[in-house]
């Protein structure tokens, strides 16, 4: 079954404590992306990766880092989380064959106190 798996699904942390949200896919897609979802703002892209070792900033990259050492994994790193990073985060992969359809993970709800 085609899947995008994110962990953790829920996390409460404190300001400044580094955390990583993992994302793994089994579809061999080259393109992966992170979004955050906030009420009234829809989904905003944080970072994306066109392929292994290729990453680029999206619309709201401040306070985040990513890495793409292998095709299947695309972790999102918050080096020093702040309360304004409290949000719902989604990882997604893009199938660039055909209609460029995104497949999303189930989401990771992060609360920074």
For binding to other proteins (CB under 8 A), which residues are involved? 4, 31, 33, 35, 40-45, 48, 50, 56, 58, 90, 92, 94, 96, 99-107
Residue 102 CB, nearest distance to other proteins (Å)?
6
3-state secondary structure of 85: helix
Q: How far is the CB of 15 from other proteins (least distance, A)?
A: 26
CB closer to other proteins, 28 vs 82: 28
List beta partners, residue 9: none
Question: What are 74's two structure tokens?
Answer: 């695309």
DSSP state string for 26-40: SS--SEEEEEEEETT
């Amino acid at each position: 079954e085609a899947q995008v798996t994110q962990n953790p699904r829920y996390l409460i942390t404190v300001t400044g404590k580094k955390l990583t949200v993992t994302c793994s896919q089994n579809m061999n897609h080259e393109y992966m992306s992170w979004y955050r979802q906030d009420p009234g703002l829809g989904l905003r892209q944080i970072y994306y990766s066109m392929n292994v070792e290729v990453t680029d900033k999206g619309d709201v990259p401040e306070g985040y880092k990513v890495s793409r050492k292998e095709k299947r994994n695309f972790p999102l790193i918050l080096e020093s989380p702040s309360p304004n990073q409290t949000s719902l985060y989604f990882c997604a992969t893009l199938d660039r064959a055909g209609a460029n359809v995104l497949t999303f993970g189930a989401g990771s709800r992060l609360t920074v106190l």
